[in-house]
Amino acid sequence: MRSPIEEVVLEGIRPKKKDIDHITTVAERLVAAVDRSGIAEGMVVGSIARHTWLNGDRDLDIFMLFDPSLPREDLEDKGLSLARSIATEFGARYREKYAEHPYLNAQLEELDIDLVPCYRVPSAWEIQSAVDRTPFHTRYISERINPLIDDVLLFKQFAKAGGFYGSDQMTEGFAGYLCELLVYYYGGFIPLIRAASSWKKRTIIDIEGIGAKSFEDSLVVIDPVDPNRNVAASVSLTRKFEFVELARGYLSSPSAWFFTVIDEPPITQDELRLILTQRETALYGLFIRTPPFIPDIVVPQLRKSLGAIRGLLERHGFVVNRADCCMGDERCLMILELLVDRLPQVRRHIGPPLWTEENAGKFFSKERGAIFSGPYIEDGLYVVEIPRRYTDVASLLSSGEVLETGLGKHVKHSMREGWRVVRGADCWAEEFAPFLSRFLNRSSPLGRIRLREAQQNG
């Protein structure tokens, strides 16, 4: 029995018949075109094939299954050639994209279509590329999920509204396939919500009881078609417990807000300036050229680089409150909020204990010059007070020391071409305004919902 709230939500998120007919027709035409080629077999995969797509979604995935004896290079060449000819035949606009191997993204009749070559392997145990697994996912879910489709739609909308839907590197959340597996495993939307409300730091789910490998992730969902893979590997600890928090909130006080996607208005430059004045913190940004790679490659490197730069600041005595990064089409932004951005000239430097005679002697001899005070002894250790190399954050972030930290490979390559350091309201840029809004107005998903409810009732 569904609640009235869930029934109303379903009315809005179930695909409309005209959209189902339209997408089905286009999919059938594309599959037939692949089949006519005589070199590959066409297959619709993903949520469209499994009937678990939300109203308004326009993503259609067509896989072109080639003979597994075909060399990898030929798969890429013939796959792209076939995809181009089909896109041209249908008059679609298209562009080549790259993941593990090349594929084609096409725009046709208001649909976003991926034409992806893969191998027609007999089992998921024999995959030759990551995408070879996808047809098995489609078959597995399609054979089981039909009685629970509405539950899947509810959970996907719940995840979208909560901000944890998507396995991309920026989201670090729940892929559509993972949502479907969880609903199937627990037997519905509400049973899943109840179970998740009690999840511990580590949660392991093995639907078929065939797990062949141990995983260290916080959330482990063994892929039922490939037990050596964790379907939930993309889910960060933060996203997992954002879901847990929302599950608890929904059970205690359900409302339509849990299914409502609301985009926060982008922050203006004047609003940013006012917020920073109120917070009395120092905001710094580093702009770099976006490396020419897909987000799944660039974003992890951005995060690694941001962590290295944060570590550099903290080693020099600057306290970082929060930091985050965002990848744009042309440039990326790494942002750091500091509690202080200027420090005094004097810096304490702790030396060795005096009972290590040789080391203590070397330290004493080395540190006697160019110091404010010392060496002196505290609790058996030598201490000197010396000049600080960088007394302000801007100088440090503009220095060559940034390039000597553990930057991601492609980020480092971009930064060697140069980077721009900005402070305060100068961190604002139109393309990053939504990102800055989320950064400065950070709140847990349940906190946002309770605020909306209070505003509605207020």
> Any idea of the CA torsion for 447, 200, 320, 273, to the nearest 10 degrees?
-20
Burial class (CB in 10 A: 0-12, 13-18, 19+), 341: buried
Contact 308/323 with Cβ under 8 angstroms?
A: no
- Residues of the chain with pLDDT below 70 are 212, 369-370, 458
| Nearest one of 371, 348, 369, 367 to 359, comparing CA atoms | 367
DSSP class of residue 432 equals: G
Rounded Cα–Cα distance for residues 338 and 230 (Å): 37
Residue-wise pLDDT for 115-161, tens only, equals 999 999 998 888 888 899 999 999 999 999 999 999 999 999 999 99
* Cβ–Cβ < 8 Å for 197, 189: no
Measured in residues, the chain has a length of 458
Q: What is the pTM of this model?
A: 0.88
CA distance 139 to 116: 17
Can you give the pLDDT at residue 370?
59
Residue 130 pLDDT: 85
Domains of the chain, CATH where assigned: 14-138 (3.30.460.10), 146-259 (1.10.1410.30), 269-342+391-440 (3.30.70.590), 346-387 (3.30.70)
pLDDT of res. 123: 86
pLDDT of amino acid 132: 93
C-beta of residue 99 within 8 angstroms of C-beta of residue 294: yes
pLDDT at position 369: 66
Residue 78 pLDDT: 95
- Confidence at residue 212, expressed as pLDDT on a 0 to 100 scale: 63
How many other C-beta atoms can be found within 10 angstroms of the C-beta atom of residue 413? 15
pLDDT computed for residue 150 by the predictor = 97
Phi, psi of 304 (to 5 degrees): -60, -45
